[in-house]
Amino acid sequence: MARVVEMKTLRIALLIVLCAWVGGVAESHAASLRVEKDGSEDYTIIQDALDAAAVGDSILIGAGRFETFRAATLIVDGVSDFAGIMWVTTDSLTIVGAGRDLTYVGPAALINDALGEGTAALTIDAGARTLISGITFHNTRWDVNIYETAVMEDCRTVRADGAGFYSVTFGFVENPIVRRCEILGNGGIITGQGVRGLLVEDCLF
């Protein structure tokens, strides 16, 4: 009986070691991709970094204004076309700006249409759980669109006069969090179809 107990103990110990090793391998594969306007790091355009990112990576965005639009089609419905500056389609990314007073995603003045479609500063698409912080989103038709579980912290949105009706739109998502953000202008937050468990805390409107 003692030998059976010893074997079970050994198997459990080996399983713990294996799990730790697998976790370490997964963690070691995660990369940090850096975006700087001056070309001193990996990328100068945020979408290029997003396109290159793998599951679990971090994207670190420096100070400055990022306003390069790319054509995109929403995964969540498969039909809605838009021109986006940040279109997140990879799961489990952490995206960190230099601070909402330093990193700006959007043009210097309102642009409602680009590349023949309506514009968006940030779109988090289906299947792309995301943690994002330290960025201002503004001067697009739809500043922030979230269709997957996400945490947005210490960010700012500013709805420009003449832009879409809302600054932040949620659709088909459960348990998103907006924390310590500034939601400015005449917009606000709207929840669409299939939204459950939205938490908004310590935000300024």
Max Cα distance, the chain (Å):
78
| Segments in 65-107 forming alpha helices (H) | none
Q: What average pLDDT does the structure give for the chain?
A: 89
Q: Is residue 78 predicted with pLDDT exceeding 80?
A: yes
**pLDDT given for residue 4 in this prediction:** 39
| Residues 66 and 163 placed together within one structural domain of the fold | yes
Higher-pLDDT residue of 45 and 8 is 45
Identify whether residues 148 and 159 lie together within a single domain. yes
Same domain, 100 and 188: yes
Say yes or no: 121 and 95 in one domain. Answer: yes
Percent of the chain with pLDDT over 90: 81
User: Per the structure block, which two tokens stand in for 55?
Assistant: 């599951």
pTM, to two decimals: 0.85
Flag whether pLDDT at 13 surpasses 60.
Answer: no
Euclidean distance between the first and final Cα of the chain, in Å? 67
Per the DSSP assignment, residues forming a β-bridge with 118 are 113
CA distance 137 to 139: 7
> Over the stretch 26-47, which tens digit does the pLDDT of each residue have?
455 799 999 999 999 999 999 9
Q: Which of 1-5, 17-21, 100-104 is modeled with the greatest confidence?
A: 100-104
Supply 37's token pair.
């306007």
In a shared domain, residues 24 and 72: no
The residue type at 49: A
Inter-residue contact 56 to 48 (CB < 8 Å): no
**Structurally, how many domains does the chain consist of?**
2
**Does residue 185 carry a pLDDT above 50?**
yes
Can you tell me the mean pLDDT for 147-174? 94
- Do 53 and 5 belong together in one domain? no
Rounded CA-CA distance 41/176 in Å is 31
Same domain? 36 vs 97: yes
- Continuous segment of H or E residues that includes residue 45: none
Rounding to the nearest 10 degrees, give the CA dihedral for residues 22, 25, 31, 32: 80
* Domain that residue 23 falls in: 1-30
Of 7 and 58, the structure prediction assigns the larger pLDDT to 58
DSSP string, 130-171: EEEES-EEESBSEEEEE-S-EEEES-EEEEPTTS-S-SEEE-
How distant, in Å, are the alpha carbons of 3, 4, 30, 50, 196 from that of 203? Answer: 60, 58, 31, 27, 19
Residues 169 and 137 grouped into a single domain: yes
109's enclosing H/E stretch is none
- Please tell me which residue, 138 or 21, carries the higher pLDDT value: 138
* H and E: helices and strands count for the chain: 2, 19
CATH of the domain at 137: 2.160.20.10
Whether residues 14 and 95 share a domain: the answer is no
Amino acid at 159: R
